[in-house]
Structure 1
């Protein structure tokens, strides 16, 4: 039996350095993650080389080029190509062939999104509706959804941590212990409701929490 491949779970690959891709790559870098950026346009490669960790000129539609760059060893790759539907689809197809476990892809239309999902993209994003910074937070954390208000306040949707199952919010004291307020809860088989002190968390529960950006991210990481 061959040894299991050791994947890079910290670094993120961004394919395409257009308007969305460059902002996403920059935001990921600011969050402290190593970024491998790929674009076939030499002018873009030259422009972003001083800013990003590693920028490579390559044709991401060629699976051989992706393999040569070692993308099979990365856990997360974002296809940020927007100008060419064909190029984005072929890039996702190549990444799926390499077995990349998390493939995020930019879509420019609903039809484009369906094609990307069909060929292997696990997450399809529409940058017109979501900024690169917000997507960066979702990629590198365990939050299910995320809205940032100002510089230091956020509301997030997260899975209830397993360690909190079977206890009421009053017992858990999330504000004192984790610095976050649980404002809503969706228990299995029920709709979202405002959280109360006697709300008991069960496996499969989804929570809406608010607090500072750092506190919300830390709470989400408990899952």
Structure 2
């Protein structure tokens, strides 16, 4: 992946942790926040950090936010501020504006004014927690996939069968993306159709949530 230069407006908990992770992934991150405490906390961990008012279009232009490929807006519960910042960013030509929403209404407004991505961390976190409680072995839930799960399964009844013989995609709308055989420390990704399974092998699969109840691996 090409190195990105990302702007993060709002360096509270979510914005700060996101910016840190982007830096760990090798990208440049420029942070902006009106709080001197948040700026001090971030200044040694990000590429550049500025104290200023993100709702001021002039500030955004002077700091060069129009040149960033992505800008993330995470200003807590300040709905009006995030809406105004998003509007300014789109007007000055930012290619991709990602904005944190705090309510359904907030999400609707942000979408209407042109936010490229609207994320709702609390909703996503709640979905993940509920699914982990009710789906043992869940690795992840794909919100864009209409109920698609990344699930870990342990082989029992499929012992001795190859993936081709099991025909899992046609039978269960299930795609095996990795296999870890017993006594092997690592997963084999994108396994061949002639891979033979044994009892106790672990599978990582994509599967429709509504099909999971029909699967007895």
TM-score under structure 1 normalisation?
Answer: 0.57
Counterparts of 1:16-35 in structure 2, within 5 Å, are 16-35=10-29
Question: 2:113 maps to what in 1?
Answer: 119
Question: 2:165 maps to what in 1?
Answer: none
Give 3-state SS (helix, strand or coil) of 2:94's partner.
coil
Counterparts of 1:145-160 in structure 2, within 5 Å, are 149=139
Contact 1:14–1:78 (CA<8 Å) still a contact in 2? Answer: yes
Q: Give the drift of 1:10.
A: 1.1
Query: Equivalents in 2 of 1:60, 1:210: separation in Å?
Result: 44
Q: Give the drift of 1:26.
A: 0.9
Query: Equivalents in 2 of 1:57, 1:80: separation in Å?
Result: 15
Query: Equivalents in 2 of 1:124, 1:36: separation in Å?
Result: 20
TM-score under structure 2 normalisation?
Answer: 0.59
CA RMSD of aligned residues (A): 3.4
Which has the bigger relative contact order, CA under 8 A and spacing at least 6?
1
Query: Equivalents in 1 of 2:3, 2:25: separation in Å?
Result: 14
The superposition leaves residues 119-145 of structure 1 with CA deviations (integer Å, 9 ceiling, x where unpaired) of: 1211100122447xxxxxxxxxxxxxx
For this pair of structures, how many residues does the alignment match?
Answer: 149
Question: 1:11 maps to what in 2?
Answer: 5
Query: Equivalents in 2 of 1:111, 1:99: separation in Å?
Result: 25
Query: Gaps (5+ residues) in structure 1?
Result: 1-7, 132-147, 159-182, 186-191, 196-207, 217-223
Query: Equivalents in 2 of 1:108, 1:24: separation in Å?
Result: 17
Counterparts of 1:52-201 in structure 2, within 5 Å, are 52-130=46-124, 149=139, 193-195=173-175
Query: Gaps (5+ residues) in structure 2?
Result: 126-137, 145-167, 180-185, 191-217
The superposition leaves residues 174-203 of structure 1 with CA deviations (integer Å, 9 ceiling, x where unpaired) of: xxxxxxxxx869xxxxxx9234xxxxxxxx
Query: Equivalents in 2 of 1:85, 1:157: separation in Å?
Result: 23
Residues 124 and 43 of structure 1, relative CA distance in 2, 3 Å threshold: same
Query: Equivalents in 1 of 2:123, 2:22: separation in Å?
Result: 18
Residues 209 and 86 of structure 1, relative CA distance in 2, 3 Å threshold: farther
Q: Give the drift of 1:32.
A: 1.1
